[in-house]
Amino acid sequence: MFRKLLAIYNETPLPMIINYPKYAQIQYIKKLASISRGARVLDAGAGECPYKKYFTNSEYVSQDICYDEIENFNFDEVDIRSEIYNIPVKNNSFDYILCTDVLEHLKYPAKAFSEFFRILKPSGELWLSVPFSGAEHMIPFDYYRFSRYALKFLGEDAGFKVKEITPLGGRFAYFGIALKTLIPNMFEDNLMLYRLLAFIQLPFIIIPLLLCFILDKTDKEKKLPPCFFSIYKKP
């Protein structure tokens, strides 16, 4: 029932207003899916493979360490179960790597960048997103938050050319997410209650969220973004 309601919700303009950073992230992923037709794509740290559906015209391969300690996760669709620092594939194996909301959960993010560089083909690209501001999550596997300067350094230090580092939203988008999750996050350990509270409060916060969405366009510097999306190219 919940999945059906979510599918209906996703076909409306509401996702763009209620959670612009996530909406913008998905637009990047759809763009990657469109340009990677016929290419080999690795989804690193794929979890439940929520983006697999966009890559029907690519050779989509998923990887994750599949921690048993993470509740409410189904890793059945993961193709490669391994540490992200040592993925058992040959050098120059993939045309693209997608890595969404994973870097903050890694003890050694620089090692992950080095491994991505190893397994990407020459001229291959890494498409990566990370949160910058927000609550701790996937506890206890939550170690870092990355600024745009850290993302630039990590990429260049591994040998990549940085094509793009884009903040997905600014301070008003951040405030909107904080408002939206303020009460439900108090019950994040109870998934059903979390979803119920998020649904019940929506009529009361939709107007403030709309205002945040509109006002966020006035934030030109975006020094307090909810997250970043970065694109790196292997020479």
pLDDT tens-digit profile, the chain (235 residues) = 555 555 545 555 678 888 899 999 999 999 999 999 999 999 999 999 999 999 999 999 999 998 776 666 788 899 999 999 999 999 999 999 999 999 999 999 999 999 999 999 999 999 999 999 988 888 889 999 999 999 999 999 999 999 999 999 999 999 999 999 999 888 888 878 888 888 899 889 999 999 999 999 999 999 999 999 999 999 9
CB 208 within 8 A of CB 180: no
Q: Residue 167, preceding bond cis, omega within 30 degrees?
A: no
**Enclosing domain of residue 151:** 2-233
Q: Three-state DSSP class for 214?
A: helix
Beta strands in 26-119 (DSSP E): 40-44, 59-64, 80-81, 94-100
Question: For the chain, percent helix, then strand, then coil, each to nearest 5?
Answer: 45, 20, 35
Domain CATH for 162 = 3.40.50.150
The DSSP call for residue 103 is: G
Q: In what order do the strands lie in the sheet with 161-167?
A: 80-81, 59-64, 40-44, 94-100, 120-131, 227-233, 161-167
Type and span of the H or E element at 3: helix 2-10
Q: Residue 25: what pLDDT? A: 96
Give the per-residue pLDDT at 189. Answer: 80
Pairing of strands 40-44, 94-100: parallel
Assigned token pair, 82: 């391994």
Whether this model's pTM surpasses 0.85: yes
Could you give the count of Cα atoms lying within 13 Å of 200 in the half-sphere of its Cβ?
8
Domain count, the chain: 1
State both tokens at 111.
Answer: 């090692």
| CA-based nearest residue to 70, from 42, 108, 105 | 105
